[in-house]
Amino acid sequence: MEITVNDITSVDKEIVISAQREDLEPNFKEAYKKYRGQINMPGFRPGKVPLKIVRKRFGDEIEREEVNKYVQDVFENEVVPEYDPVGESQMLDLIWEDDELEAKFKIGARPDFELGDLEEVSVDRLVHDVTDEEVQEEIDRQLEQQGNWEVVEEEITEESKVTVDATHLNEEGEPVEEETDEGQVIDLRKEEFAQFKDDLLGHETGDEVDVTLGEGEEADTFRLTIQKVEKLHKAELTDAFAKQQSNEEAKNVDEYKSLVKSRIQDYYDQSADDLFKNDVVDELVDKHDFEVPEVFVNQVENQYVERVKQQSGGELPPSFDEEEYKEEIHDRAVRDAMWFFLNEKLQEKFDDIEIKPEDIDAQLEQQAAQYGVSVDQLRNLFAQNPQQLESLRNNIRENKVFDKLKEVVEVNEIDKETYQQKHDEKVKA
């Protein structure tokens, strides 16, 4: 048996496992003995079928199975320890002909690179203190959600909700038969219905209004018959409302305002952390130039496809083009792959990172609150799934890497408006 390594790139390698029949003969002999004991054939006692007949009748199938086992065993016990492949290794070919075996694999190797000077990395960080106006806007939104709509015999205003029957008109302005959508709701407070405002404002129930949507050859005209006009009555901000909305966490209006402010601030702080992580990854990837294994990039792409599948209830949407999607996310997958190896280097650099029991407890409490289960339930789940526990530890370790980076890289604290402007310019570029 021989293992040959061919370099495809600096990080992609082809592994060729070659063997002769004498290398596999011991495996074949054991397999024939095993199957002989299991085969029943007319005219022979159970387990006593001659080996010659077993070889003739079932030899190809038995040997093919043993060849696959042999190749897997060599790969796991000799290739993996020696070359430490990263990503999901790919079998390119497996040939067993004329008593000769050749199996080809494509594996990924860790890229060889050095971390750049982290102090030269500059990253923007969003800093925002929630204002009383933002708190009031959020409370107003909740008062609207808990309010009720009243049907009124009044003119339509920008705050109205209007129910109409919409009939498509042809080029001559005549209604098209069987092209009427009844009971369409138009909430003029929402931006998505802004195009209807000029045509509907000032009208009342029973009026007919012709509306043209689109431009040029794409334009369509509809006759809207107004069936109902509604006016919103907001809920009142009372101590009872505060208790109900906060699930008794706030006892009165003042406490509720403080709670809302705290929640919005927590949201901004968490968003700032998430944005910082994303931005620092982008900066570090841009500052480094190294190849990543193709098999590793493919693995990342497959993970993105799996997320789409999970979000769609376990099956990919019927119209989903997997290959086209992978092409679209390829650059993102390369970026994620580069960050994986950068993160490994950073963990080596920050060798004082330690995961303590309280770190795991804090993460469990956060996830338990997110999924609506008890901490003990989650702890038992992780105890039964070591792989998930290791994933949890990796998340904690990565978060600690980001905490270290905050202390090393140059952090530019900027306000919400400036951050959004710079973000928009970056996307446009």
CATH of the domain at 12: 3.30.70.1050
**CA-derived radius of gyration, the chain:** 33
In a domain, 156, yes or no: yes
Which tens digits make up the pLDDT trace of 7-35? Answer: 999 999 999 999 999 999 999 888 888 87
- pLDDT digits 0-9 by tens, 321-337: 999 999 999 999 999 99
What confidence tier does 290 reach under pLDDT thresholds 50, 70, 90?
very high
Average pLDDT score over residue span 224-252: 96
d(CA 93, CA 86): 19
Residue 354 inside a domain? The answer is: no
Contact 264, 138 (CB under 8 A): yes
pLDDT in tens, 368-391: 888 888 888 888 888 888 888 888
- Note whether residue 293 is domain-resident: no
From the number of C-beta atoms within 10 Å of its C-beta (0-12, 13-18, 19+), residue 232 rates as middle
Q: Is residue 188 part of a domain?
A: yes
Q: Which domain holds residue 58?
A: 2-108
Domain boundary among 233, 255, 282: 233
pLDDT, position 43: 58
**DSSP states of 72-124 as a string?**
HHHIIIIIHHHH--EEEEEEEEEEEETTEEEEEEEEE---------GGG-EEE
- In the chain, the number of structural domains is 2
Strand bridging mode 161-169 / 122-126: unpaired
DSSP 5-60: EEESSSSEEEEEEEEEHHHHHHHHHHHHHHHHTT---TTS-TT---HHHHHHHHHH
pLDDT exceeds 80 at position 136: yes
Position 70 in a domain: yes
Tell me whether residue 363 is in a domain: no
Give the range among 51-65, 157-171, 203-217, 240-254 with minimum mean pLDDT: 51-65
Say yes or no: 102 and 176 in one domain: no
CATH assignment of the domain containing 215: 3.10.50.30
What pLDDT is recorded for position 215?
Answer: 85
Asked which of 59, 89, 108 is the last residue of a domain, the reply is: 108
- Are the CB atoms for 8 and 106 separated by under 8 Å? yes
pLDDT digits (tens, 9 = 90+) for 176-198: 978 899 999 999 999 999 999 99
Partnered with residue 271 across adjacent β-strands are none
The two beta strands, 86-97 and 122-126, are unpaired
Res 297: pLDDT: 97
368 φ/ψ angles, rounded to the nearest 5 degrees: -65, -40
253-287 vs 330-349: helix axis angle to the nearest 10? 90
Please give the average per-residue pLDDT across 413-419, as a whole number.
94
Tell me, yes or no, whether 11 and 101 share the same domain. yes
Q: Are residues 82 and 156 in the same domain?
A: no
Q: Which residues does residue 94 pair with via DSSP β-bridges, in sequence order?
A: 103
Q: Choose one of 108, 127, 162: the last residue of a domain.
A: 108
- 7 and 96 in one domain? yes
Q: With 80 as the cut, is the pLDDT of residue 37 above it?
A: no
156 and 98, same domain (yes or no): no
Percent of the chain exceeding pLDDT 90 equals 77
Q: What gap in Å lies between CA 329 and CA 61, rounded to an integer?
A: 41
Backbone angles phi, psi at 231, to 5 degrees: -120, 135
CA distances from 117 to 78, 286, 344, 399 (A): 37, 13, 16, 20
**Comparing 55 with 93, which gets the higher pLDDT?**
93
What average pLDDT does the segment 63-89 reach?
94
Q: What is the pLDDT of residue 46?
A: 65
Long-range contacts of 35-42 (CB under 8 A, 24+ apart): 35/62
What is the mean predicted confidence (pLDDT) over 108-129?
95
